Amino acid sequence: MRRREFVGILITAAGWSFGTWAQTSRRRKIGALLGVPEGDPEVRPRIAAFLSKLQEMGWKEGRDYNIDVRFGGSDAGRVRAYAKELVASSPEVILSQSNLALASLLQETRDIPIVFTVVGDPVGSGFIKSLARPGGNATGFTSFEPPLVQKWVQSLKQIAPRTEHAGILLHPETITNGIYLQVAKETSATLGMAVTALGVHNASEIERAINEFARQPNGGIVVFPNPITNEHRELIIGLTTRLRIPAVYAFGYFVSGGGLMSYGIDVVELYKRAAIYVDRILKGEKPSELPVQQPDKFELIINLKTAKALGLAVPPNLIVAADQVIE
């Protein structure tokens, strides 16, 4: 199925028709480069939420604006190619999701406004000057900052107290993953755990890394957020369950898909908030003057069925603290 056909299905299902990329004076142009695969089921509610929020604010797709959505997934080459194509089509604003997508867009333009979502540590990654005053053509909504890594490591020790070795599944070339790794090492040391960095780039490396890590006893894994780990989440969940390795994730849909535990953000909510910034930019505000916003709500989700399969007795206080418990 072609990209435009797929997005058309999404938007029609949400109550809108997907118009062509019209070259008319009254329709505004919005581009979107998302760091998820085209067929990822998590895409549907995100795009629907973005479009719904725009409609709430008076923007009707096909009448007031047209949108061109590209799905880059974790393929860096594809993401860079789509970034080049989008910029060449001269949209008035671009919605971006993932550090890879944002980095690729900023390589192509320092003029077209970009509203990003699900981006970790944009200051440390060099995308903006500061949260309060981004200073360039990009602004938006962060997903995870380094202090949150402490919570992931601590949660692993809480739900699996016997853990002595923490495996950190990450993409080593992503700047934020490197920053997070240092925090994970420092936090793990205070909890008496040794750290093994499990750098991966594809499915085969994920499988090899987890299988090798499973050879040592009392191990647990923290899966860092990245398009690669996100794209291969079924593989990661399947391996950690089969090998009886407790694992903590950054997104709740890992847990609803069979993972053990997550602590993180509501991505759909970030897409709604991104629509507000797109609205403000289309009405004349500059991204350099719109502060980058951090998440103000985090959700703890636990899968008791998975915990039982792993032989874990979840502490009652952790269950009480959870926002959602899957049984």
pLDDT of residue 144: 84
Domains of the chain by range and CATH? 3-143+267-289 (3.40.50.2300), 146-264+298-326 (3.40.50.2300)
Question: CA 129, CA 288: separation in Å to the nearest integer?
Answer: 9
pLDDT range class, residue 17, cuts 50, 70, 90: very low
Question: What pLDDT score was predicted for residue 184?
Answer: 97
Q: What is the mean pLDDT of the chain?
A: 91
Position 10 scores a pLDDT of 47
In the chain, the percentage of residues whose pLDDT exceeds 70 is: 92
| Alpha carbons 270 and 115: distance in angstroms, whole number | 11
Encoded tokens for 230:
């996100």
The gap between the terminal CA atoms of the chain, to the nearest Å, is 36
Contact between residue 119 and residue 177 where contact means Cβ atoms under 8 Å apart: no
Q: How confident is the model at residue 297 (pLDDT cuts 50, 70, 90)?
A: confident
The tokens 């070339």 sit on which residue? 173
Q: What is the mean pLDDT of residues 263-271?
A: 93
Residue pLDDT, tens place only, 105-114: 999 999 999 9
Nearest CA to 4 out of 100, 82, 111 is that of 82
Residue 58 has pLDDT above 80, yes or no: yes
In this prediction, residues 12-21 reach a mean pLDDT of 38
Cα distances (angstroms) measured from residue 175 to each of 33, 99, 103, 128, 295: 20, 9, 11, 14, 20
Q: Nearest 10 degrees: CA dihedral of 312, 318, 320, 321?
A: -150
Q: State residue 147's pLDDT score.
A: 86
- In the predicted structure, residue 4 carries a pLDDT above the cut 60: no
Read off the pLDDT band of 234 (50, 70, 90): very high
Q: Pull the structure tokens for residue 250.
A: 């950054």
pTM of the model: 0.86
Integer Cα distance of 286 and 318 in angstroms? 43
Q: What are the backbone angles phi and psi of residue 30, rounded to the nearest 5°? A: -120, 130
Coil, helix or strand at residue 63? coil
Distance CA 159, CA 218 (A): 13
- Decide if 113 contacts 87 (C-beta within 8 A): no
Q: If you search the block for the tokens 């991505």, which residue do you land on?
A: 267
pLDDT band at 31 (very low <50, low <70, confident <90, very high): very high
Residue whose structure tokens are 């028709």: 17
Give the bridge partners for 95, in sequence order: 32, 115
**What H or E segment, with its residue span, contains residue 203?**
helix 203-213
Whether the CB-CB separation of 233 and 81 falls below 8 Å is answered with no
Cα-to-chain-centroid distance, residue 235: 17
pLDDT, position 6: 45
Q: Please, are residues 200 and 171 in contact by the beta-carbon 8 Å criterion?
A: yes
**Across the beta sheet with 28-34, what order do the strands follow?**
65-71, 28-34, 93-97, 114-119, 138-142
CB 117 within 8 A of CB 56: no
Q: Is the pLDDT of residue 254 over 70?
A: yes
Beta bridge partners of 167: 196, 221
